[in-house]
Chains A and B, each alone.
Chain A
Amino acid sequence: GAVVSQHPSWVICKSGTSVKIECRSLDFQATTMFWYRQFPKQSLMLMATSNEGSKATYEQGVEKDKFLINHASLTLSTLTVTSAHPEDSSFYICSAPRGSGRTDTQYFGPGTRLTVL
């Protein structure tokens, strides 16, 4: 089956620093990837859609200047949390669909746990 990896799996950083999270589709190409945020015991909330070769599309209420997304290639998307603060501590999950429509199966990365001190 399709595999999506994330790196790092966990990161601890100081308040005010920036953190980059990578999402890779290992055995397929993905022109679109999605970034989700999950708080403890809560659901996944879509943050943005990462588009290869163009700007990311952010969901309402998500600060695009704080959560920078770059879709560098057909297998790599990165999420950079800039000037991180403790309230940014969360579990960040990416997914990549195989195909290009609503019926696609999304393959999820294992997630990255960010802790901001």
Chain B
Amino acid sequence: AQSVTQPDIHITVSEGASLELRCNYSYGATPYLFWYVQSPGQGLQLLLKYFSGDTLVQGIKGFEAEFKRSQSSFNLRKPSVHWSDAAEYFCAVGSQGGKLIFGQGTELSVKP
């Protein structure tokens, strides 16, 4: 069955520190992978996506993610976190017909 797992429900990092949010997927075919961010009162915003090619994907707001097929992972990283990055982050895999299957989400808190 298709699924996405985000093992960390809540992560707290200090401002300026590096960040890695974990995502593991289960999908029978070539996965199309996405990271979205959800801020209160706003819709989900796409940070980056992976379809094929270079396994290190650059996104907006300084985020990047690396696709590792051998580990079925698509972890999101940022070298230096800003207070404005505090939000809920969702990893998703694209399914048939354009549907998205989301992970449980990781809430990021940023300490000053």
Contact = CB atoms under 8 A, between A and B. Distances in A.
Q: Say if A and B assemble together.
A: yes
B98 A34 contact: yes
Interface string A34-62: 10000001111110010000000000000
A110 B100 CA distance: 17
Contacts of A105: 46, 49
B98 A4 contact: no
Nearest to A103: B51
Interface string B21-49: 00000000000101010000111111001
A93 B102 contact: no
Contacts, number: 60
Contacts of A44: 44, 90, 100, 102
A53 B98 CA distance: 18
Contact of A101 (B36, B49, B98): B98
Interface of B: 32, 34, 36, 41-46, 49, 51, 90, 94-105, 107
Given A46-B100, A110-B41, 7 more contacts: A43-B102, A45-B102, A102-B95, A102-B96, A103-B32, A106-B98, A106-B100
